Amino acid sequence: DVKVTQSSRYLVKRTGEKVFLECVQDMDHENMFWYRQDPGLGLRLIYFSYDVKMKEKGDIPEGYSVSREKKERFSLILESASTNQTSMYLCASTFGIEQYFGPGTRLTVT
Amino acid sequence: DQQVKQNSPSLSVQEGRISILNCDYTNSMFDYFLWYKKYPAEGPTFLISISSIKDKNEDGRFTVFLNKSAKHLSLHIVPSQPGDSAVYFCAAVYSGYALNFGKGTSLLVTP
């Protein structure tokens, strides 16, 4: 079974803090993704990576950056957290069409 | 501009009846369509997919129908069970890996 894990299920941070969200997959997948899910807006793609050290912007990359130093790990960074980044963050990985998701991190920025 | 649309935010169905969730898309280049199911506080889980060259795919109680001329797909759940209550996301993909998601439909199956 594919396993995608995320470092925290719940996180509370203050405005202006730097926030790291970590994602690890154990299936040697090349492609990894970060989404955020908000009520009424569905899943929106923030960034994705198709190889180590490679990254591509998704639909809403502003305020975020990513890092992929190893194939199994994809990190999402909020350089200076803001209240409008309060959301559920979902990581996914894929080799083919189907994406496997982690359990999500509920981030609250106060 | 949203390329995958789920126009019904919610749906309520009685246990044992059929649930039909709908999805429309605008991009004729999509080559696969997928349905995901999501419970609160969990990540989405893959349910079923269909290639753009097919018009139907079935897996147990779940069937997806694709109407390319109408750019429309639907997910049928028969019979519906209370455990099917969740948010269902329609997604479409082209160029290999870039999934486009709809906004989701919340399904409630009542006993």
Report, in angstroms and rounded to the nearest whole number, the Rg of chain B calculated over CA atoms.
Answer: 13
- Tens of pLDDT, residue by residue over B32-48, are 999 999 998 889 999 99
Kindly state the average pLDDT of the residues B83-109: 90
pLDDT at A58 over 80: yes
- Tens of pLDDT, residue by residue over B89-101, are 999 987 666 688 9
* Min Cα–Cα distance to chain B from A44, Å: 7
Option in B41, B49, B101 nearest A98 (CB): B49
What pLDDT does A96 receive?
79
* Min Cα–Cα distance to chain A from B86, Å: 13
Mean per-residue pLDDT of chain A: 94
